[in-house]
Structure 1
Amino acid sequence: MILREARSSDLGQIIALEQACFPPEQAASPSALKERIERFGPYFLVAEKGGTIVGMINGMPTNETDLCDEMYEGALLYDPAGGHIMIFGVDTLPAFEHQGIASMLMEAYIKSARKDGRKSIVLTCRKRLIGFYEQFGFVCEGISGSEHGNVVWYQMRIVTG
Structure 2
Amino acid sequence: VKYYGNHFWLMYEAEKLIAFVDGFVTDEPDLTDEMYEKATLHDETGAWQMIFGVNTIPAYRQHGYAGELICRAIEDARKQGRKGLVLTCKDRLVHYYAKFGFTDEGVSEKSTHGNAVWHQMRLTF
Range class of TM-score, shorter chain: over 0.9
Pairwise CA distance, 1:60 = 0.5
Report percent identity of matched pairs.
45
Matches for 1:65-104 after TM superposition, within 5 Å = 65-104=29-68
Runs of 4+ that moved beyond 3 A: none
Pairwise CA distance, 1:76 = 3.6
TM-score by length of 1: 0.75
Pairwise CA distance, 1:38 = 1.8
Corresponding residue for residue 79 of structure 2: 115
Pairwise CA distance, 1:81 = 0.2
- Name the CA distance, whole Å, in 1 between partners of 2:60 and 2:31: 28
Stretches of structure 2 that go unaligned for 5 or more consecutive residues are: none
State the aligned residue count.
124
Matches for 1:1-161 after TM superposition, within 5 Å = 37-145=1-109, 146-160=111-125
- Any idea what the Cα deviations from partners look like across 1:49-89, whole Å, max 9, x if unmatched? 02100000000010100000000011242111000011100
Q: What amino acid is aligned across from residue 149 of structure 1 in structure 2?
A: G
Q: What amino acid is aligned across from residue 154 of structure 1 in structure 2?
A: H
Q: What amino acid is aligned across from residue 16 of structure 2 in structure 1?
A: T
Q: Which has the higher contact order (CA 8 A, sep 6+)?
A: 2
- Name the CA distance, whole Å, in 1 between partners of 2:86 and 2:98: 12
Question: Which structure features the higher share of helix residues?
Answer: 1
